[in-house]
Structure 1
Amino acid sequence: MVERSAPGGPKVSPTSAAAAADPAAPVSQAPPSDGAPGTDTVTTGVPARLDRLPWSRWHWMIVIGLGTVWILDGLEVTTVGNIAGRLSEPGSGLAITSAQITGITAALYVAGSCLGALFFGWLTDRFGRKKLFMITLAVYLTATAMTALSFAPWWFFLFRFLTGFGIGGEYAAINSAIDELIPSRFRGRVDLIINGSYWLGAIGGSLLSIVALNTGLFPANVGWRLTFGLGVVLGLVILLVRRHVPESPRWQFIHGYGEEADQLVDSVEKEIEKEKGRELPRAEGEITINQRASVGFWTIAKTVFQKYPKRAVLGLALFVGQAFLYNAITFGFGSILTTFFNVSTGHTGYFFAVIAAGNFLGPLLLGKLFDTVGRRVMISATYLLSGVLLFGTAWLFDRGSLNATTLTACWCVVLFFASAGASSAYLTVSEIFPMETRAMAIAFFYAIGTAAGGISGPLVFADLTKSGVVGDTVLAFCVGAALMCAAGLVAALLAVRAEGRSLEDIAAPLSTADAST
């Protein structure tokens, strides 16, 4: 329900009596004469109506249309890591070294992700989720296609950067949209599983690289190009599904599109009632907000760091810890196998597929516990467990007690917990800050954390692994473990108990009628 209030008092619409009896009933309102969004004071039950919905085919459409892009990201990153050895070999069509791929290319991809997250994150909060998650996917598809056509290192570097630019924008637009559309009691597990689906792409990338690198099937200068081409094909399929994903009603009613938000939720409720064969229960709870067309960057920064300083520290700790672990160490996993255990470049994909499976199983099996046991316990436990287990792996590696198989098994266990923790970082920063700052908050913490661990990490780790010195690799393991443990301790102290709560209850929108901005 949306009611407009004039400065002289509440304006009672012809349908207000019916709406009072049923909060799900829409209230008619005339659109602004100039076609621009309204900027009135409105009372709406949209958040409560969305949160009380049962799981349905409509929610599966949201998950498939938005969440599957992580599969593409996993496919991209893993493919590049696994084909690094082949690209550096004569006949690949590129005069590039393995160190440049695992170091410079990886760093450029992550740098593009950071800048893309910030740029598109700001646009997402300003112009809406739907517009931006269509644009960011288009940027990703174009850059990936151009990567497949690489003829020189500079071209490869440029379009890896632009691919990351599109992916970074996806992180901001997609996470904010998902959390605003999924009912509160499912939000934790859905968000974790969607972010964890990155590793389904990683499994596909690992196995695909085995086929692509088989020179008996494809010439050395063709196979790796086909892997990027497949990413484009999958992305186009996702684009077709994504056309049907709606704008976030939460974004709509705050930014002056209250009538559209009501109509959208009405249609979803009717669709779900038809699917379930029963009427939905009455929604309880309304919120009154002062609509606004946009929120200034300074207001966002002040809100995040002055109003919620402890939550800001939490977000930074979680992102720095997981970013270093994943972007620094897993980028170089193939190099470790070839350098220390003489695994051929054509077989590293098998090993990576195993640890990718562990990564996906973590969020899949542990995700529900983030909604039941609770955020604080599960976030701190997954970070601390993964850190301690990684310290143990470093100790065994230093003693020479591991081979390629047992190292992979150790990493599989470490990343089972680390993946759930890393996915919860995105969930955390998405739900603990006000609606108007959501996409920008995701973008900021992703960018800062990833810049700290994801840009410097691959550059440093490439040097450590190519040295062939066991102690250098052990040092990298220990740094990643220490940062994960530190983040786990911060979460134990500062994590917000957000399980089962509406987003508006966790952090009131800045536009709330009695909110102070």
Structure 2
Amino acid sequence: MSHSDGTRLGTITTKVPARLDRLPWSRWHWMIVIGLGTVWILDGLEVTVVGNIASRLSEDGSGLPISDSQVTGLAAALYVAGACVGALFFGWLTDRFGRKKLFLITLAVYLVATAMTALSFSVWWFFLFRFFTGFGIGGEYAAINSAIDELIPSKYRGRVDLIINGSYWLGAMGGALLSVLALNTDIFPKDIGWRLTFALGVVLGLVILLVRRHVPESPRWMFIHGRSEGAEQLVDGVEKEIEQEKGRPLPEAETAITIEQRHSVGFVEIARTLFRDYPKRATLGFALFIGQAFLYNAITFGFGSILVKFFDVSSGTTGYFFAVIAFGNFLGPLLLGRLFDTWGRRPMIAGTYILSGLLLFGTAALFGAGVLTATTMTACWCVVLFFASAGASSAYLTVSEIFPMETRAMAIAFFYAIGTAAGGISGPLIFSGLTASGVVGDAVIAFCIGAALMVIAGIVAVFFAVPAEQKSLEDIATPLSARKAEQA
């Protein structure tokens, strides 16, 4: 059976997944990591910069008649809403039209929207392009997590996915320090500094686009969608390149898979697969995303106001404290990532979630007792987030590897949208009131909510986490196309 775009559909047997999984780590894999992983740095930069420049934007002379609460409230909510809509819209397109097309398109959307934000001349314009910036970033999550998991060998998939998702915090650290510089009126005028922070996002995005052009389409996506010859040629080329680099022939790939090729999967089939065929895995994804979204909102939403209100830290220096916390967040996935591949998914996912929740309960108790200073409070948060960050990154890894190939991008998009909406919409509503009240007991309640949801998610992982470490994606969840081939 042929299709209007020239591809022919049929039943094929291929060793492409096994060939990709048995590859040793190489320069080619570094190119993928740099080309695809760097966008998380942009997301971290975006979110942090806006939080830190809110006070400057609301000042007279900023060039925008906007209030502090409009920046941290409405503009932040629109960015989150854009991310949720973008994830679902582009996630569907990613499963339908391929990873490469979409990770180029979503980055282009981000670039244009950020450039337009820097040029904001009125409040509605600023709001509109915050939405479209989120729209592009949300789409990135689905296109990139699916591409990473399908291109990285199974032996390294856990740590690479965790470190890439954790690199968000490098961007957050950069954003915190950048905002301190950009808001210094001795260097930049009030109406220029904040625009330059957005313009820097555009420059970084253009650099990423140059690298990303060389990242190939996922061969796994190609052979399912009637482009098996292209997939075989692509893997042939990669194998030759790696054999030259290593100076030795690669071992023969063992396992073959037979699949019935198809062009697309409908929403109904995706929903049926997620909730009827894999209800425990869907529950796990839901629990992990909600838990991490609320923990992060409990801490990061009230972060600045807690330091200012309870510890008399000046608002101009909270960026330094945030940079320290962001560094702790990045160290978690970096140092613990390998254990997700060696000790295994279940003990590490459950362990990081439960431990970070218990540590946050402890921090809440110390804060409530009044024994912490700004420095020791920041140190406590760093320890909590060291474990929480590895756990939160593993949520993305989990939903991108435990569902069938044809539904992967949509599954990532769905759980990302749920977690982001819960954390980014209900989170601010619950936590901003609690942490801004100036009452110690209210902030303690905020911490305890986040901590409790993390512990619950960890307990769900004890029972439902999938031992996916060092396994081929096709062994973790049989592709729908392979099932069709078996039934044929």
TM-score, normalising length from structure 2? 0.97
Following superposition, the deviation at residue 161 of structure 1 comes to 1.3
Equivalent residue letter for 1:325 = L
5 Å matches for 1:213-252?
213-252=183-222
Q: How does 1:401-480 map to 2 (within 5 A)?
A: 401-480=371-450
- Alpha-carbon distance, 1:233 to partner: 0.1
Q: Offset of 1:129 from its aligned partner?
A: 0.2
CA distance in 2, matches of 1:399, 1:89: 36
Map of 1:164 onto structure 2: 134
Aligned to 1:65: 35
1:288 aligns to what SS in structure 2? Answer: strand
The answer to whether the Cα contact below 8 Å between 2:297 and 2:431 also exists between their aligned partners in 1 is no
CA gap 1:466/1:271 in 2 versus in 1, 3 angstroms: same
Aligned-pair CA distance for 1:516: 6.4
> Amino acid of the residue matched to residue 86 of structure 1?
R
In structure 1, what is the equivalent of residue 6 of structure 2? Answer: 36
- How far apart are the structure 2 equivalents of 1:147 and 1:126? 30
C-alpha distance in 2, partners of 1:84/1:338?
Answer: 15
The aligned runs of 1:390-401 (5 Å cut-off) are 390-401=360-371
Equivalence for 1:268: 238
User: Per the alignment, in what secondary structure is the counterpart of residue 191 of structure 2?
Assistant: coil
Q: Within the alignment, does 1:198 sit opposite 2:174 as a pair?
A: no
1:362-396 CA distance string (max 9 Å, x none): 00000000000000000000000110111111111
Aligned residues: 487
Q: Deviations over 1:235-261 (max 9, x none)?
A: 000000000000000000001000000
Please list, as runs of the form range in 1=range in 2, the aligned pairs for 1:108-119 lying within 5 A after superposition: 108-119=78-89
Q: 8 Å contact 2:107–2:137 — kept in the other structure?
A: yes
| Equivalent of 2:263 in 273, 289, 293 | 293
1:434–1:224 distance in 2 versus 1, CA, 3 Å: same
CA distance in 1, matches of 2:300, 2:486: 44
Kindly name which structure, 1 or 2, has the bigger radius of gyration based on alpha carbons: 1
Does the aligned pair in 2 maintain the 1:99–1:462 contact within 8 Å? no
Show CA shifts across 1:112-133 (max 9, x none): 1111100000000000000000
Does residue 1:83 correspond to 2:53, yes or no? Answer: yes
- 1:145 Cα shift? 0.9
Partner of 1:279, secondary structure, is coil
Cα displacement (A) at 1:210: 0.9
For structure 2, the residue ranges without an aligned partner over 5 or more in a row are: none
Q: What is the CA–CA distance in structure 1 between the aligned matches of 2:453 and 2:135, rounded to whole Å? A: 26
Higher helix share: 2
Match of 2:338 among 350, 353, 368: 368
- Give the Cα–Cα distance (whole angstroms) in 2 for the partners of residues 33 and 199 of structure 1: 44
In the TM superposition, what is the alpha-carbon distance from 1:342 to its structure 2 partner? 2.6
For residues 427-448 of structure 1, give each alpha carbon's deviation from its aligned partner in whole angstroms, at most 9, with x where no partner exists.
Answer: 0000000000000000001111
Check conservation: 2:141, 2:412, Cα contact below 8 A.
Answer: yes
CA-based RMSD? 1.5
Q: Deviations over 1:377-436 (max 9, x none)?
A: 000000001101111111111122222211111111000000000000000000000000
Q: 1:389 aligns with which of 359, 363, 367?
A: 359
Residue 352 of structure 2 aligns to a residue whose secondary structure is helix
Are residues 1:151 and 2:127 paired?
Answer: no
Task: Name whichever of 80-89 and 160-169 sits farther off.
Answer: 80-89
Provide the secondary structure at the position in 1 that maps to 2:301.
helix
Match of 2:328 in 1: 358
Give the whole-Å Cα distance in 2 for the aligned partners of 1:47 and 1:152. 51
In structure 1, list runs of 5 or more residues that go unmatched. 1-5, 7-31
Runs of 4+ in 1 over 3 A off after TM superposition: 32-35, 513-517
Per the alignment, in what secondary structure is the counterpart of residue 340 of structure 2? helix
3-state SS in 2 of match to 1:346: helix
CA gap 1:496/1:217 in 2 versus in 1, 3 angstroms? same
1:14 — aligned with what? none
- Kindly state the Cα deviation for residue 515 of structure 1 after the two structures are TM-superposed: 5.2
Residues 282 and 103 (structure 1), Cα distance of their counterparts in 2 relative to 1, 3 Å cut? same
Q: d(CA) in 2 for partners of 1:265 and 1:39? A: 20
- Look up the match of 2:281: 311
- The one-letter amino acid of 2:308's match is T
Amino acid corresponding to residue 209 of structure 1 in structure 2 = S
Q: How many angstroms apart in 2 are the aligned matches of 1:145 and 1:56?
A: 35
Q: For 1:481 and 1:257, how far apart are their aligned partners in 2?
A: 47
Q: Which amino acid aligns with 2:218?
A: S
Q: Distance in 1 between matches of 2:361 and 2:3?
A: 64
Q: Secondary structure at the match of 2:12?
A: strand
Distance 1:142 1:289 in 2: 39
Q: Separation in 2 of the partners of 1:464 and 1:98?
A: 18
User: Which amino acid in the other structure matches residue 473 of structure 2?
Assistant: L
> Which AA in structure 2 matches 1:374?
G
Bigger Cα displacement from structure 2, 507-516 vs 51-60? 507-516
Mapped to 1, the partners of 2:293 and 2:4 lie a distance apart of 46
Whether the 8 Å CA contact 1:108–1:455 is kept in 2: the answer is: no
- 1:514: how far off? 4.4
Work out the CA distance in 2 between the residues paired with 1:430 and 1:166.
19
2:323 maps to 1:344: no
**Relative to structure 1, is the Cα distance of residues 329 and 100 closer, same or farther in structure 2, using a 3 angstrom cutoff?**
farther
Are 1:49 and 2:50 counterparts? no
**Structure 1 counterpart of 2:227:** 257
Post-superposition shift, 1:272?
0.5
Partner of 2:13: helix, strand, or coil?
strand
**171, 184, 199: which one aligns with 2:154:** 184
Contact 1:83 1:345 in 2 (8 A): no
In 1, distance between residues paired with 2:408 and 2:429? 31
Q: Distance in 1 between matches of 2:325 and 2:418?
A: 26
Structure 1 match to 2:106:
136
Q: Indicate if the aligned counterparts of 2:302 and 2:436 stay in contact, CA closer than 8 A.
A: no
